[in-house]
Structure 1
Amino acid sequence: MELNLEHLHSFAVLVRTAHFGRAAEELHMTTSGLSKRIRCLEREVGALLVERGPGGYQGLTDRGRSLAERAPLILIAAHSARRDGDDEVVVLGFPGRLSDYFTQTQFGLLVDCLSWERPLTHLRLQGVSYADVRDCVINGSVDVLIDMVDPIRAGSLQIPLAEVSRSAVVTDSSALGEQDPVFLQDVVAEPILHDSRLDPSWMGPWVLADVERHSPGRLVDVAASGFREISEAVRTGRGIAVVPGFMAQSLLPAGLRGRTILDAPLVQVRAVIRCGESRPQVAALVRVLQVLGHALSSPVSAPPGARDHRR
């Protein structure tokens, strides 16, 4: 089965927006033109993909859901080649290290998706010190910042990317290592790592910012410029760490475990851009981050039969 990539891309945008009008606007075409593309794709596939009703888009058929799952991989495989020349550049900033946010596979997916959205756009990475997090977007050193700081800064716009659970990082031999998920009351009874050099709002992702409310929690000061130092401090027995769940899922070294904290507040992951930013390459990067961020979102609920062992 040979698919028209333009039709498939239009289908992927429709699935993401769940609305013919919004998808057509993003694709810079008319709604009727988009509808024709989808019908052409359905003829290529030989099956109905989209459920339609009086209000337009009503969802996907079984074949539509199957194709929607495979479409990003098909598009990435077809459009992964980068182009040379005088291309536009967009700068993505992140506090700490890139490896705190993306595995190698995830970063490759980010690059390839951006290449599809804006074929002539090159992604440049810029590490940002924790001290400069508040100003790097405003002063123009980065175009888009991945951030988990709560306060909104003047002159910037924060765009939600994901809400992720928090996980306790523990050693294999820890008592908490035998439980998953764990409860907040049990976590704060342990020594918890934090870095007193950081802005207090940055404690939220790394530890529980309100840990003092959950006596008898104890904070252990540790200098950490990234997840690597946090992990090493846990491994050597200085305490446990509380991190965004996606870090505990994919970035832990051998000997450590991530345990979801069932009743901890979710971490808000955001993209920060300057107010009034209108460059298309920046908009394209934000769209890609939103799509990838959706995959990180992790509402947490107790599994069936889970026993609340809080004292």
Structure 2
Amino acid sequence: MSELNLRRLRYFLAVADTLSFSRAAEELHIAQPVLSRQIALLERELGAVLLERSTRGTALTDAGRLIAEDGRQLLRSAGALERRARQAAQGIEQLAIGFMPGLQVTPIVQGLRQSFPEIRIELVRTGWHDQVETILDGRVDLGLVRLPVPRRGLQVEPLFREARVAVLSASHPLAAAEELSPHVLAEYDLLQSPDAAPEWREARLARGLPVPTGGDHPHEVEIKLERVAASSGVAFLPASTARFYTRPDVVVRPVPGLASGTVGVAWAAGRDSAVLSRAITLAHTLRASLTTEKVLDGETAAPRP
């Protein structure tokens, strides 16, 4: 696909995201008639109608939804290719490592520098909302991720399981308890999506309490903890994340019966190099400080050779 077509694809995705030609044109800093012509040309090239315009607004067709999904992946791949080309032109071996809060990548960095003394390593802090995006668009070569993640375009290997804990305000009525249960915590508001804690949701239903739907659930751990500290609600975090963000106005309590999470390592499908292979091997030597259980789909996972 030519660069001109990639530009048209970007234009289309702007409309697909806003479902508004006027807003998309404003974001792209182009005139609306120009945007309409470029998308018409893209539809002609693809032989499919991507957008339907009516008095009720703009909507994606079935073909439009498919192209939007595939198009985002294509643009990410194009961006990753450009970044790798620039790095290769510099003549220096480079690797960008992404990591979620609480996960330590120091052993990987130290191991890589021993094997490749001249390597340039970049560390990128990621979150739930971009831990995959940064890999697909080339900003990160290897990511320590919290599973599950969408695997399209990725190679993913689980590393270890990690306990999850409850975080509450230091003034919370349950703050003095040594441990808590989903049944007890179900009485209190959950300051994150119920999908993140199905045990809390089931316990709440069992008690005949409503389960809220929708709502504004921040991705950033810092904002979650601010909400916890300022209210009588509760949130669940991986143990290493809660430990990393230790603060005096928030307490951390174990919750027996709460399913543990899985930490994995991920990289772009098709990528292969000596540096990347070594980094993956080093990732398999990591352990969470609060757990030594290492599993793969319920079975013990053997580390890479």
Alignment TM class, shorter chain as reference: 0.5 to 0.7
Q: Contact (CA 8 Å) 1:168, 1:261: kept in 2 or not?
A: yes
CA contact (8 A) 2:129 2:219 kept: no
Correspondence list, 1:72-111, <5 A: 87-94=92-99, 100-102=101-103, 106=104, 108-111=106-109
**Identity over aligned residues, as a percent?**
17
| CA displacement 1:270-297 (0-9 Å, x = unmatched) | 1111233321211222233322235453
Q: 1:187 to 1:108 in 2, by over 3 A?
A: same
Counterpart Cα distance in 2 of 1:151 and 1:108? 23
What is the TM-score normalised by the length of structure 2?
0.56
Alignment of 1:159-308 (within 5 A): 159-194=157-192, 203-204=195-196, 208-209=197-198, 211-215=200-204, 216=209, 221-237=215-231, 239-293=233-287, 295=289, 297=291
* Shift of residue 224, structure 1, vs aligned partner: 2.7
Q: Are the aligned partners of 1:168 and 1:242 in contact in 2 as well (CA < 8 Å)? A: yes
Structure 1 residues 189 and 283: alpha-carbon distance in aligned structure 2, compared to 1, 3 A threshold: farther
Structure 1: unaligned runs, 5 residues or longer = 1-84, 300-311
Alignment check: 8 A CA contact 1:164 1:268 kept: yes
Q: Structure 2 matches for 1:107-186, cutoff 5 A?
A: 108-128=106-126, 130-186=128-184
Secondary structure, aligned partner of 1:253: coil
Letter in 2 for 1:226: E
- Write the deviation string for residues 157-178 of structure 1: whole angstroms up to 9, x where unpaired: 1111221111000122223322
Q: RMSD across aligned C-alpha pairs, in angstroms? A: 3.0
**Secondary structure at 2:284's aligned position in 1?**
helix
Alpha-carbon distance in 2 for matches of 1:217, 1:116: 55
Evaluate the alpha carbon distance shift between residue 122 and residue 209 of structure 1 in structure 2; reply closer, same or farther with a 3 A threshold: farther
The letter for the 2-side match of 1:284 is R
Q: Deviations over 1:100-136 (max 9, x none)?
A: 224xxx4545432332243332221234565544444
